């Protein structure tokens, strides 16, 4: 059962990566709260909720992103919120990682986030309102020895959000990031039910992985007027993972 987040009714929200995992769960929370949601993704989702429209998008293309935003403005006349959930992960450390994979991860996770924000910014500035929520990661807050490109991209997203908050705040536009802990989604399939996944879960103070909807609820809060004086923050939604160093047992 989705909670109702007040103040989202009829807001128009673009969710990149909205066909799967955290993006899809966020779209469900938003639609259940009365928002009109565009889920933009490389892949089509089988079960988009009512109130959500699918659009194909590669977030690493500036042209396609600008075209999508223009067509949303034609159709809806406004964009109130942006959620950047499109992301990829490629395991690899400094020596084993292929340069092409490093570039691909940065292109989607970092440049893609910037391009989406850039595409909606002038419209939001003109209206002097809008909320942008970037999905970062606890892997952007803490080091991790085997996922160099991903950690780097997410750390950069957190810093980019602070800079965008400084740039857009005077124009009435809020920009925040959320850093999820371990959330069971198609991205984590290789960890789920494995000893390494169980050890990872045990490092969360709540001793479990999170659910996509628990991230979606936090995104909805940051998009809504309930967070109207919050900008420039990185909110961990991580069951306490980043709050304390616990030994996994
Ligand atoms: P997911 O794999 O279920 O969803 C990611 C979506 O992004 C997919 O639908 C995929 O098609 C889309 N996507 C990938 N490249 C794209 C591109 N170039 N253009 C448009 N769409 C593209 O994974 P999940 O877990 O839902 O991830 C969502 C976000 O949350 C990602 O940014 C991820 O890094 C982040 N995250 C996930 C965590 C987890 O434990 N699942 C933890 C922390 C952060």
Domain range summary for the chain, segments of one domain joined by +: 12-183+209-237
Name the DSSP letter for residue 47.
-
Mean local confidence (pLDDT), 121-139: 98
The predicted-structure confidence for 144-202, as pLDDT tens digits, reads as follows 999 999 999 999 999 999 999 999 999 999 999 999 999 999 999 999 889 999 999 99
Atom of ligand 1 nearest to the CA of 86: 7
Q: Is the CB of 214 under 6 A from ligand 1?
A: no
Mean local confidence (pLDDT), 80-103: 97
The predicted-structure confidence for 215-232, as pLDDT tens digits, reads as follows 999 999 999 999 999 999
Cβ(54)–Cβ(41) below 8 Å: yes
- CA of 80 from ligand 1 middle (Å) equals 22
- CA of 95 from ligand 1 middle (Å) equals 25
Tell me: pLDDT of 71 over 70: yes
Which protein residue's CA is at the shortest distance from atom 29 of ligand 1? Answer: 85
Name the DSSP letter for residue 248.
-
Reported as a pLDDT band with limits 50, 70 and 90, residue 2 is low
- CA of 150 from ligand 1 middle (Å) equals 11
Strand 81-84 vs strand 130-135: parallel, antiparallel, or unpaired?
parallel
Instruction: Please calculate the CA angle 51-227-37 and round it to the nearest 5 degrees.
Output: 15
Instruction: Please calculate the CA angle 102-104-108 and round it to the nearest 5 degrees.
Output: 120
pLDDT of residue 3: 62
Quote the radius of gyration of the chain (alpha carbons, Å): 17
For the domain 12-183+209-237, what is the CATH code? 3.40.50.720
pLDDT of residue 1: 46
């Amino acid at each position: 059962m989705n909670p109702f987040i007040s103040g989202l009714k009829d807001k128009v929200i673009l969710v990149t990566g909205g066909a799967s995992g955290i993006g899809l769960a966020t779209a469900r929370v938003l639609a259940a709260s009365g928002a009109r949601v565009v889920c933009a993704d490389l892949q089509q989702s089988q079960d988009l909720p009512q109130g959500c429209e699918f659009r194909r998008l590669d977030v690493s293309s500036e042209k396609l992103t600008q075209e999508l935003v223009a067509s949303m403005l034609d159709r809806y006349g406004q964009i109130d919120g942006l959620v950047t959930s499109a992301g990829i992960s490629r395991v690899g450390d400094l020596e084993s990682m292929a340069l092409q994979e490093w570039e691909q991860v940065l292109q989607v996770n970092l440049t893609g986030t910037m391009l989406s924000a850039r595409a909606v910014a002038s419209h939001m500035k003109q209206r002097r309102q809008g909320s942008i929520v970037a999905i970062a990661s606890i892997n952007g807050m803490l080091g991790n020895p085997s996922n160099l490109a991903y950690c780097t991209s997410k750390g950069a997203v957190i810093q980019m959000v602070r800079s965008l908050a400084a740039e857009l705040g005077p124009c009435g536009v809020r920009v925040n990031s959320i850093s999820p802990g371990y959330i069971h989604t198609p991205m984590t399939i290789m960890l789920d039910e494995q000893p390494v996944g169980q050890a990872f879960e045990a490092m969360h103070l709540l001793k479990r992985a999170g659910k996509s909807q628990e991230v979606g609820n936090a995104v909805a809060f940051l998009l809504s007027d309930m967070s109207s004086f919050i900008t420039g923050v990185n909110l961990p939604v991580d069951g306490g993972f980043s709050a304390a160093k616990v030994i996994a047992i």
